[in-house]
Amino acid sequence: MSKIKSVDLFNKSDIAHIDNFIFSKEYPWELLGLIKDYIVSLINKGIPGYTKLKDDVLVGQDVTIYETATIIGPCILGNHVEVRPGAFIRGSVLVGDDCVVGNSSELKNCVLMRHCQVPHYNYVGDSILGNFAHMGAGSILSNLRSDNKPVIIHGDEEIPTGIRKIGAILGDHVDIGCGAVLNPGTIIGQNTQVYPLVMTRGVYKENSIVKSTTVVVEKN
């Protein structure tokens, strides 16, 4: 089977509450239905060095939130996070340190580990982004099939998840090109680059360049 387990896709972020969650399940999509409750439990318990922005939003140190950004909880933002103008965080979002949530980007029910960038006009729903993952301007993580049926992971074998909404799982150091659309259940291995305007479907191995939906070459 392709490398689609959490331990294959992510290295530790060295942020305890992020790592404890990410590696608590064998497969990353198993975490999606647990994000909200986990965030609420952390907010109720508190994280050393974090403060409450409001009852259901917890933020770390040196966080920058522009005036026109909208944050709906439950949400946790790590240290040195920047939330730019027009960003819309609409609940169940867990963000690690040194991340950027950019102008007009929308996040819901997702985890960004560390040093993630979703900087311009991005949609991230029901997804997990590994350390140093980057999304180019206008790239979209689609999370719902057109027929509303549960998402199937199309890897070496078909894996029925039983989950209606799954966006994409991006491993560490994945780079998504501008305008790319990742279909529900896409999994991208570590250090892989997706070209601009590409539409992806299925599982893509690590250390690759995705030139089109079906054309994938190994990085030199």
Which position among 17, 80, 115, 120 bears the catalytic label? 120
Residue of 81, 125, 124, 88 lying closest to 103 (CA atoms): 88
Phi, psi (5° rounding) for residue 79? -65, 140
Strands (E), 46-173: 51-54, 57-59, 64-65, 70-72, 75-77, 82-83, 88-90, 93-95, 100-103, 106-112, 117-120, 123-129, 134-135, 140-141, 152-154, 158-160, 168-170
**Quick check: is 120 catalytic?**
yes
SS3 for 97? coil
Q: 203: part of which helix (H) or strand (E)?
A: strand 203-204
Q: Determine the distance from the C-alpha atom of residue 30 to the mean position of all C-alpha atoms in its chain, rounded to a whole number.
A: 14
Active site residues per annotation: 120
